[in-house]
């Protein structure tokens, strides 16, 4: 069901209220679906706690188009040596970003 697929996208970032494990793979069950309002049960797979929640939604709401970044053809290419240089600078550094910028 499309609604449960959308709900799963949001539960992927929510922690369980009991055990704090992210509900990314929780069991979801649609208990009722009236126009614009759905009642859903979620079960944490880690601690088996059950949660009920309601979701208000607008049917056929237009989604904004996805905007892909346009790569700059004139941007310099980052070489692997440069990445290794940054790694060697940062591995022993233990200060703030401001101190790091002043250092360079």
Q: Is the pLDDT of residue 8 over 60?
A: yes
> For residue 1, what pLDDT is reported?
56
- Residue 48: phi and psi, rounded to 5, are 65, 25
Look over the chain and give the mean of its residue pLDDT values, rounded to a whole number.
Answer: 86
Q: Is the pLDDT of residue 49 over 90?
A: yes
* Per-residue three-class SS string for 28-66: EEEEEEECCEEEEEEECCCCCCEEEEEEECCCCCCCCCC
Nearest to 93 by CA among 31, 101, 45, 26: 101
Pair 26, 52: CB distance under 8 Å: no
Question: Is the model more confident about 67 or about 80?
Answer: 80
Q: Is the pLDDT of residue 81 over 70?
A: yes
> For residue 104, what pLDDT is reported?
61
Q: Is the pLDDT of residue 74 over 60?
A: yes
What is the percentage of the chain residues whose pLDDT exceeds 70? 95
> For residue 60, what pLDDT is reported?
74
């Amino acid at each position: 069901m499309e609604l449960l697929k959308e709900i799963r996208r949001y539960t992927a970032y929510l922690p369980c209220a009991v055990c704090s494990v992210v509900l990314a793979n929780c069991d979801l069950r649609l208990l009722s679906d009236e126009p614009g309002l759905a009642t859903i049960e979620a079960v944490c797979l880690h601690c088996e706690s059950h949660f009920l929640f309601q979701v208000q939604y607008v049917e056929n709401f237009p989604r904004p188009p996805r905007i892909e970044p346009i790569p700059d053809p004139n941007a310099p290419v980052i070489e692997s040596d440069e990445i290794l240089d940054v790694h060697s600078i940062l591995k022993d550094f233990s200060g703030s970003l401001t101190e790091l910028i002043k250092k360079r």
